[in-house]
Amino acid sequence: MLAEIITIGDELLIGQVIDTNSAWIADQLNANGIKVHQITSVSDNREHILTSLKEAAQRASIILITGGLGPTKDDITKQTLCEYFNTQLVFNQDAYDNISRLFFSRGYPVTELNRLQAMVPEACEVLNNINGTAPGMWFQKDGISYVSMPGVPFEMKEMVSRHVLPRLMGQSRNHILHRTILTEGVGESFLAAKIETWEDNLPECIKLAYLPQPGIVRLRLTASGEDKSYLEKALTDAEISLLPLASEYIFGHDDETLQSIIGELLLKKHATLATAESCTGGNIAQMITSIPGSSAYFKGGIVAYSNEIKVNLLGVREGTLMNHGAVSSETVIEMAAGARKNLKTDFAIAVSGVAGPDGGTPEKPVGTVWIAIATPDTITSTKFLFGDHRGRNIQRASLSALSLLRKALL
């Protein structure tokens, strides 16, 4: 059973919006054993939408469509679906009640434009949209399921989880299982050379992919077949045989992140954490607090963007800044010690660097970053040299800091 995803919207084709819906839907379908064959993004254009529907129907039996259902004039998906399914728009009371409910809860009257959103193609089954005004639509034709959903991720996700997946599940007999092994501190090709023999000996049913990100390489194992318990065992065996080759680089699995793993390690130790950030500007604190429940171990942090704050709130000595500069081993060590002391925690991370584009010098070019980790026993500092790109430097410095903390916690 193959699926295709069609995302509709001029904003996708001019690059104003990144299509995050497709990845989310694909992930959900895969987890339920439905393979996605192709993702296609097309414009808010009648002919283009019709062509893409016809083409997808030749390849797949499930076609999930997002976008183009807004109340405004540029959204033409609904009319185009009427044409495709040779049907017409009719008023739907349930959809209208849902729109009224949403407007009432926000304290607004229903506009004429939103009333029109309750008009739906006669041939479809309406899927209620509890988070928005555009109803979803399910069409069934020639053995193919077509589902049209709003493009707003928040609305679409709820609709997929509550209506689409439960209905599609059970229709498929094939299982697709994934296990992703997360590594850091090793380049893609170096890792590939190290595990080549292992890769060559993987069973037929398992496929391997290397997914590099800044500072991280993810190894994704995909097992496909009808016998689920056989696939599970094959994945486990594959992972066990990988360990002797790469255990020093492996830090987690699947959807784990450095920040989620650190959270678990801190919880297990009943230990607390503070951050002192200069060039990363709060990004590390933001990553740590993106984890639900992080308040159990993260007490807080200081974004010491100016030297004055490094001195006043973290207790960095003025002499240290004068003699060694803000981007130095000495400064980050004092920042980490100050964060640990002033925020009264067991562990602390401190980062100071030149994120760029300005501020580089011959001795400390853009991309130079010092990171210190304070534990109850020691403070250690490490120097990194990243690249020229501000956003990437902030990202890599944050990941490196979390990675150093993880090692200190083990």
Tell which positions 115-144 bind its own copies, by CB under 8 A: 133
- The partner residues of 7 in beta bridges, in order of sequence, read 41, 66
Minimum CB separation of residue 298 from its own copies in Å reads: 5
Q: Report 48-67 residues binding its own copies (CB under 8 A).
A: 48, 52, 55
**DSSP code of 369?**
E
Minimum CB separation of residue 37 from its own copies in Å reads: 7
Q: For residue 43, state whether it binds its own copies (rule: CB under 8 A).
A: yes
- The partner residues of 222 in beta bridges, in order of sequence, read 178, 207
Contact of 383 with 369, CB cutoff 8 Å: yes
Q: For residue 81, state whether it binds its own copies (rule: CB under 8 A).
A: no
Q: For residue 203, state whether it binds its own copies (rule: CB under 8 A).
A: no
User: Can you tell me the distance from the alpha carbon of 31 to that of 64, in angstroms, rounded to the nearest whole number?
Assistant: 16
Angle at 66 between CA 61 and CA 71, to 5 degrees: 140
**DSSP code of 15?**
T
* Helix axes 307-314 and 329-342, enclosed angle (nearest 10): 40
| CA nearest neighbour of 238 among 213, 204, 190 | 204
Q: Report 389-408 residues binding its own copies (CB under 8 A).
A: 389-392, 394
Burial of residue 251, with CB atoms counted within 10 A of its CB: 0-12 exposed, 13-18 middle, 19 or more buried: buried
For its own copies, the binding residue among 60, 181, 285, 404 (CB under 8 A) is 285
Nearer to its own copies, 125 or 187 (CB): 187
Q: For residue 374, state whether it binds its own copies (rule: CB under 8 A).
A: no
Q: Report 82-121 residues binding its own copies (CB under 8 A).
A: 106, 108, 111-114
Give the tokens for residue 213: 């990100």
Minimum CB separation of residue 236 from its own copies in Å reads: 20
Window of 86-94, 231-239, 261-269, 306-314 that interacts with its own copies by CB under 8 A:
306-314
Contact of 195 with 239, CB cutoff 8 Å: no
Angle at 302 between CA 301 and CA 306, to 5 degrees: 160
Contact of 77 with 42, CB cutoff 8 Å: no
Nearer to its own copies, 43 or 87 (CB): 43
For its own copies, the binding residue among 16, 86, 229, 378 (CB under 8 A) is 16
For its own copies, the binding residue among 47, 122, 125, 188 (CB under 8 A) is 188
Window of 232-240, 261-269, 337-345, 400-408 that interacts with its own copies by CB under 8 A:
337-345
Q: For residue 284, state whether it binds its own copies (rule: CB under 8 A).
A: yes
Please count the residues of this chain forming the interface with its own copies, following the rule CB under 8 A.
109
Contact of 75 with 40, CB cutoff 8 Å: no
Nearer to its own copies, 169 or 211 (CB): 211
Give the tokens for residue 228: 């689920």
Q: For residue 186, state whether it binds its own copies (rule: CB under 8 A).
A: no
Nearer to its own copies, 281 or 317 (CB): 281
At 232, the amino acid letter reads E
Q: Which long-range contacts does 93-96 make (Cβ < 8 Å, 24+ apart)? A: 93/118, 94/126, 94/128, 94/135, 95/120, 95/126, 95/128, 95/135
Give the tokens for residue 297: 């171990």
Nearer to its own copies, 55 or 87 (CB): 55
Q: Report 236-275 residues binding its own copies (CB under 8 A).
A: 275
Q: For residue 205, state whether it binds its own copies (rule: CB under 8 A).
A: no
Q: Report 148-177 residues binding its own copies (CB under 8 A).
A: 152, 154, 176
